[in-house]
Amino acid sequence: MLRQVVGWLLRKAELSSQHDLTGVAQGDASRVARRLVRDPVCGVHVDETLSIPYRDEGELLHFCSIACRDAYVSSTKKFVANA
């Protein structure tokens, strides 16, 4: 039963993502390239459009969650404070 629910959720997410693509024919939706970026804290790869961007000293970083972004910011503050 859990397998059926997960399958239903995945199919629903796939259908909604196909409808959200503006300017792309629905048949071409499977060919849309997505750029994956790596979270510097946990190492998870996430779609660039879904990531949480953060600019640090001119470098644009992408995070999978606000928690990872906050962990990065707090760790860099500790590093600067100890320097």
Judge contact between 49 and 66, C-beta under 8 A.
no
Task: Quote the CA–CA distance of 33 and 53 in Å, as a whole number.
Answer: 19
Question: What integer pLDDT is reported at residue 6 of this predicted model?
Answer: 72
Question: What integer pLDDT is reported at residue 29 of this predicted model?
Answer: 55
**Boundaries of every domain in the chain:** 35-83
- CATH assignment of 35-83? 2.30.170
Closest-CA residue to 20 (of 47, 57, 58, 42):
47
CB atoms within 10 A of CB 62: 21
User: Which residues in the chain land under pLDDT 50?
Assistant: none
CA 58 to chain centroid, in Å, comes to: 20
Q: Which amino acid is at 2?
A: L
Question: What integer pLDDT is reported at residue 79 of this predicted model?
Answer: 62
